[in-house]
């Protein structure tokens, strides 16, 4: 029972920036000049329907006005090659608080020492109705750390330092 609570606590405590289409285990802190600090990370999910790599990315704004973001993702095409570089294409379900839900494609291109990631989603956002969610980011890997710069419909700029394991 203690292990279950520890696992649930870890899963709830983890959080994202604009992560790659493939799942990774990360934990870190991000800063957006207009919003403040974000606790963020990601985790591989222990279940894999249809043999797909699945993951959860999450992000929590550490300020007076609560904001949370979770991205459930499945890596549908993990072994693509574009001009000699590995690429991944997946599908993501973006859930937000205040309420929002978006579904759309995710794509990543692995560059030497880093990864470029893009995501789109169409769905509903409280206060805005039908909404197009988007995100783009670049992650520089400095094992076991990663430095990430990203932008999305939620913030124009986010700089993050992540620990990978």
pLDDT at 2 (0 to 100):
52
- Measured between alpha carbons, how far is 80 from 44 in angstroms, rounded to an integer? 20
CA atoms within 13 A of residue 71's CA, in its CB half-sphere: 32
pLDDT at 19 (0 to 100):
62
- Measured between alpha carbons, how far is 163 from 145 in angstroms, rounded to an integer? 5
Note the pTM of the prediction, 2 decimals.
0.83
The pLDDT confidence band at residue 11, using thresholds 50, 70 and 90, is very low
| Eight-class DSSP state of 63 | S
pLDDT at 52 (0 to 100):
86
Give the tens place of pLDDT for each residue, 38-78: 999 999 998 776 788 999 999 999 998 889 999 999 999 98
DSSP string for 7-58: HHHHHHH---SS--SS---EEEEEEETTTEEEEEEEEE-S--GGG-EEEEEE
Give the tens place of pLDDT for each residue, 69-113: 999 999 999 889 999 999 999 999 999 999 999 999 999 999 999
pLDDT at 10 (0 to 100):
37
So where are the chain's domains? 32-149
Two structure tokens written together for 81: 């090659």
Over residues 112-138, the mean pLDDT reads 95
117-120-122 Cα angle (round to 5): 165
Give the tens place of pLDDT for each residue, 141-158: 999 999 999 999 999 999
């Amino acid at each position: 029972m203690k292990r279950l609570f520890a696992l649930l606590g870890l899963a709830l405590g983890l959080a994202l920036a604009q992560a790659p289409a493939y799942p990774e285990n990360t934990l870190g802190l991000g800063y957006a000049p207009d919003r403040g600090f974000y606790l963020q990370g990601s985790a591989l999910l222990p279940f894999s329907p249809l043999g797909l790599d699945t993951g959860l990315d999450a992000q929590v704004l550490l300020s007076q006005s609560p904001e949370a973001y979770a991205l459930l993702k499945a890596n549908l095409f993990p072994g693509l090659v574009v001009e000699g570089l590995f690429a991944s294409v997946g599908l993501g379900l973006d859930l937000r608080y205040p309420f929002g839900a978006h579904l759309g494609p995710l794509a990543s291109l692995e560059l030497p020492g880093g990864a470029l990631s893009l995501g789109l989603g169409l769905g509903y956002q409280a206060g805005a109705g039908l909404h197009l969610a988007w995100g783009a980011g670049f992650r520089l890997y400095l094992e076991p750390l990663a430095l990430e710069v990203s932008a999305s419909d939620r913030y124009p700029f986010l700089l993050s330092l992540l620990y990978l394991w």
